[in-house]
Amino acid sequence: MLIVLSGPSGVGKGTVRQAMVNKYGQQFKYSISMTTRKPRPGEVDGVDYYFVSKAEFEEEIANGGMLEYAQYVDNYYGTPLKYVNQTLESGQDVLLEIEVNGAMQVRSKVSDGVFIFLAPPDLHELQDRIVKRGTDDTATIKKRMLQARQEINLMTNYDYVVVNDQVDSAVNRIEQIIASEHLRVARVLSTYQKMLGDN
């Protein structure tokens, strides 16, 4: 099952994803995104993102190597396709933590994915989080807030909305969603049809 976690910049996608990996990491594989932005303090190449040049990213696009990609605040972000396909084919769930534009691309390609929108409690809280990160200048913060308003309007394209008021609570809600999705008839029907056909 492909699980897509996205939401506006600053909502805490990375924090929630890391908490999920720490708590439930044996239950799914996290697909590391690729980006052309510079690493933030403490971020590690190949762990948080694959940090590449613009030319390298555009070569992957040209070669059809991306499940999705988007240009966001002057940088590319995207999901390498090969790892996702191999992991799903091996029977394991894959978790993507991606931007909203990327999630819309995946939605058009993977109809049975589980799409979860991580939302802020309110816009003031979202702006406070972006400012407290200390990584963006005033002009970039304004761009991010304008983008966030547009992205929140796109939540209608998702299956679930989880408010990130407290990280632990958000992680628990997402785990409940994943557990429920595994019980959907459409996901287990083929197993039972095969069983009945063998009798």
Q: How far apart are CA 49 and CA 91, in angstroms?
A: 24
Q: Where in the sequence is the domain holding 53, given as residue range(s)?
A: 2-198
Report pLDDT for 198: 63
Report pLDDT for 99: 86
Helix axes 13-24 and 167-182, enclosed angle (nearest 10): 60
Report pLDDT for 168: 95
Residues in the chain, total: 199
- CATH of residue 26's domain is 3.40.50.300
Distance of CA 171 to CAs 43, 77, 108, Å? 21, 23, 26
Q: Tell whether 9 is in a known binding site.
A: yes
Structure tokens that stand for 164 in this block: 């990130």
- Weakly modelled stretches of the chain, pLDDT under 70: 198-199
Q: Tell whether 7 is in a known binding site.
A: yes
Q: Tell whether 11 is in a known binding site.
A: yes
Structure tokens that stand for 94 in this block: 């894959």
Q: Tell whether 190 is in a known binding site.
A: no
Q: What is the pTM of this model?
A: 0.83
Q: Tell whether 41 is in a known binding site.
A: no
Please give the tally of structural domains in the chain.
Answer: 1
Q: Tell whether 121 is in a known binding site.
A: no
Q: Tell whether 10 is in a known binding site.
A: yes
- Pairing between β-strand 160-163 and β-strand 2-6 as defined by DSSP bridges: unpaired
Q: Are 49 and 32 in contact (CB under 8 A)?
A: yes
Residue 88, Cβ density class (10 Å: 0-12 exposed, 13-18 middle, ≥19 buried)? middle
Three-state DSSP class for residue 137: coil
Q: How far apart are CA 104 and CA 79, in angstroms?
A: 13
